[in-house]
Chain A
């Protein structure tokens, strides 16, 4: 059975957003990525058939963007921001810790199927560096060693991201004219 067979309403709604069907390519890739953790060659082929594109055209667009994965990922795909402000905040050590802790590298999945890791470029949360994004969820910010441990522990216990209690500063903080507010 095709991935989109039972998603005709979603497809129709997505096509209706654009004057041309091809524009639905990115939303379709995202939908597969979200549900299956990667976009397999079969899915690329299927998307191509729906949109009237070759599988190569689909792969060409897919490979351009960092979010779509051409290999299976773990249940929790941990994306670690590695760009300047996060590097200043210790992203390299965070990455090393993660590699040591999980004993995997980019492209691997832990034996229990739970985790995969990827270094990504600037996530736009430079003031709360270093930052991790789990799957498509809101960011985990100000990631200290203790917060990383609590995050991994919580995920291993099968908790939802928003249910995991992280020690120290929680959530994101904006300072508007010196007033510290929790947004």
Chain B
């Protein structure tokens, strides 16, 4: 295993970094962070200078870890230079894609790592101010981030003329209030400005006119934390992990009936089998489907072919799904896929912002209503075709990607488990709810 790229957590060359401190007592304090090499990367970045930082992150191949996978260095390079305007870095900590809970522990147990990541991004895009948009429900993460920002400010790690270099940076924390759409970057900006979180028309892109009309870049928590280690250890270290198009390592999350559900840091290109058996200890009951990267990603059947699929951007696209946030959900065989998709559809229906018709009427209205009809046993022959027709009408026609996110898992389910849907509508039987597990 000593040759070639690192594509397994069992490779002796693999060193976990992002979650190295998670779970350690006191890991959220500044002293702890400093005693583990904290704030060395930002000093290095200041010495390297803005252009070299962007080049290093580009070279590393880091792609945005919030779900869309857009190259982080390239995103930074879109920012205009020396505009004389205030530039902003916004950190997207809204983490609300069902099945995702990795950013939470990064903030709870290693908040200074994120502060340092935001500083590096700030340096790269000439932003002296950063906003952390944290989902409102993450109370402990909020407390720890507030504490860390306060500590950093008091001890000269945030503020003016940092490390005597003339570099200036300040962080403000803004709490969300329960709305999935705030994870969409332009909706996040509206929410920060005190508006309803409807997405904005692009262009102008945030790099041209973002927060309060000023050049802005929005990055996910994990992306920013990854940047710390890329600067610290070099792009080549990062790129030695993963596959051709998916470099580096990632935080994968496991939920559903497994022995040890949780967050696992692994190189991209690691197989589902390694994540779900070696790390998570295998299923505790028969599983029929895997959602690979958060609920918007089309589910894949539980079989050897899926389990041996490497978890990277390109392999999952080839299988007709997506890597997304890396939030893997196992759907047990005892739960009808109709029930599972009813739940997911209800989620997207509830979270639709109502701005555009295909999403407001299509997802929140038609799709939810039809699932309710089928799920409660009032389905009729032909309903599956109507559902498919709805997907055709909605997908690709909405203002932002939320409606697509609602359609993809249902389409994926119809591809692999169509018989369950047909069975439900033809027999007009209410789907059995997942149950008897609780007690």
A30 touching B136, Cβ below 8 Å:
yes
Q: How far, in Å, is A135 (CB) from chain B's closest CB?
A: 9
- B231-257 residues with Cβ-Cβ distance < 8 A to A are 253-257
B101 touching A87, Cβ below 8 Å:
no
Q: How far, in Å, is A111 (CB) from chain B's closest CB?
A: 27
A1 within 8 A of B: no
| Binary B-proximity of A152-183 (CB < 8 A = 1, otherwise 0) | 00000000000000000000011111111111
B177 touching A26, Cβ below 8 Å:
yes
Q: Is the interface of B mostly helix, strand, loop or mixed?
A: loop
B264 within 8 A of A: yes
Measured between beta carbons, the chain B residues less than 8 angstroms from A128 are 261
A29 within 8 A of B: yes
- B1-49 residues with Cβ-Cβ distance < 8 A to A are 9, 16, 19, 22-24
B95 touching A124, Cβ below 8 Å:
yes
Q: Of B97, B263, B438, which is in contact with the most chain A CB atoms at under 10 Å from its CB? A: B438
A175 touching B262, Cβ below 8 Å:
yes
A84 touching B180, Cβ below 8 Å:
no
**In the complex, what distance in Å separates the CA atom of A30 from the CA atom of B177?**
8
Interface stretch, picked from A4-12, A70-78, A88-96, A101-109, is A88-96
B438 touching A175, Cβ below 8 Å:
no
B175 within 8 A of A: yes
B179 touching A66, Cβ below 8 Å:
yes
- B96-114 residues with Cβ-Cβ distance < 8 A to A are 96-101, 104-105, 108-109
**In the complex, what distance in Å separates the CA atom of A108 from the CA atom of B98?**
28
Measured between beta carbons, the chain A residues less than 8 angstroms from B99 are 84-85, 122, 126
B265 touching A176, Cβ below 8 Å:
yes
B437 touching A90, Cβ below 8 Å:
yes
Measured between beta carbons, the chain A residues less than 8 angstroms from B434 are 87-88, 90, 92
Q: Of B278, B340, B434, which is in contact with the most chain A CB atoms at under 10 Å from its CB? A: B434
**In the complex, what distance in Å separates the CA atom of A106 from the CA atom of B376?**
21
| Binary B-proximity of A135-165 (CB < 8 A = 1, otherwise 0) | 0111100001100000000000000000000
| Minimal Cβ-Cβ distance residue in A for B136 | A67
Q: How far, in Å, is B368 (CB) from chain A's closest CB?
A: 13
B197 touching A64, Cβ below 8 Å:
yes
B193 touching A22, Cβ below 8 Å:
yes
A84 touching B343, Cβ below 8 Å:
yes
Measured between beta carbons, the chain B residues less than 8 angstroms from A137 are 139
Q: A27-B175, A121-B180, A138-B139 are in contact. Are A20 and B437 (CB under 8 A)?
A: no
Q: How far, in Å, is A174 (CB) from chain B's closest CB?
A: 5
A124 touching B137, Cβ below 8 Å:
yes
| Binary A-proximity of B188-230 (CB < 8 A = 1, otherwise 0) | 0001111111000000000000001000000000000000000
| Minimal Cβ-Cβ distance residue in A for B88 | A19
Interface stretch, picked from B150-158, B302-310, B324-332, is B324-332
Q: How far, in Å, is B53 (CB) from chain A's closest CB?
A: 26
- Partner pick for A124 among B22, B138, B278, B295, CB 8 A cutoff: B138
B178 touching A174, Cβ below 8 Å:
no
Q: How far, in Å, is B90 (CB) from chain A's closest CB?
A: 12
**In the complex, what distance in Å separates the CA atom of A44 from the CA atom of B334?**
47
B353 touching A64, Cβ below 8 Å:
yes
B433 within 8 A of A: yes
A99 within 8 A of B: no
Measured between beta carbons, the chain B residues less than 8 angstroms from A68 are 177
**In the complex, what distance in Å separates the CA atom of A29 from the CA atom of B176?**
11
**In the complex, what distance in Å separates the CA atom of A67 from the CA atom of B94?**
14
A24 within 8 A of B: yes
| Minimal Cβ-Cβ distance residue in B for A176 | B19
A183 touching B109, Cβ below 8 Å:
yes
- Partner pick for B347 among A27, A66, A122, A144, CB 8 A cutoff: A122
**In the complex, what distance in Å separates the CA atom of A93 from the CA atom of B439?**
9
B262 touching A127, Cβ below 8 Å:
yes
| Minimal Cβ-Cβ distance residue in A for B27 | A183
Q: Of B175, B194, B265, which is in contact with the most chain A CB atoms at under 10 Å from its CB? A: B194
B273 within 8 A of A: no
Q: A19-B212, A25-B194, A88-B332 are in contact. Are A127 and B255 (CB under 8 A)?
A: yes
Q: How far, in Å, is B346 (CB) from chain A's closest CB?
A: 8
B344 within 8 A of A: yes
Measured between beta carbons, the chain B residues less than 8 angstroms from A122 are 96-99, 180, 295, 347
A83 within 8 A of B: yes
Q: A65-B177, A93-B438 are in contact. Are A175 and B265 (CB under 8 A)?
A: no
Chain B interface residues (CB < 8 Å from chain A): 9, 16, 19, 22-24, 86, 95-101, 104-105, 108-109, 135-140, 172, 174-180, 191-197, 212, 253-257, 260-265, 278-280, 291, 295, 327, 329, 331-332, 335, 340, 343-344, 347, 350-351, 353, 433-435, 437-439
What 3 A-B pairs are tightest by C-beta distance, nearest first? A90-B438, A181-B23, A66-B178
Q: Can you pick out 15 interface pairs between chain A and chain B where the beta carbons lie within 8 Å of each other?
A: A51-B194, A61-B196, A83-B295, A84-B291, A85-B99, A85-B256, A124-B96, A124-B137, A126-B98, A126-B261, A138-B139, A175-B263, A176-B22, A176-B263, A179-B23
Taking A61-B196, A67-B178, A126-B98 as known contacts, 11 extra A-B pairs with beta carbons closer than 8 A to each other, sorted by chain A number, are A20-B194, A84-B99, A88-B331, A91-B438, A94-B438, A121-B96, A122-B347, A126-B100, A127-B255, A174-B19, A176-B263
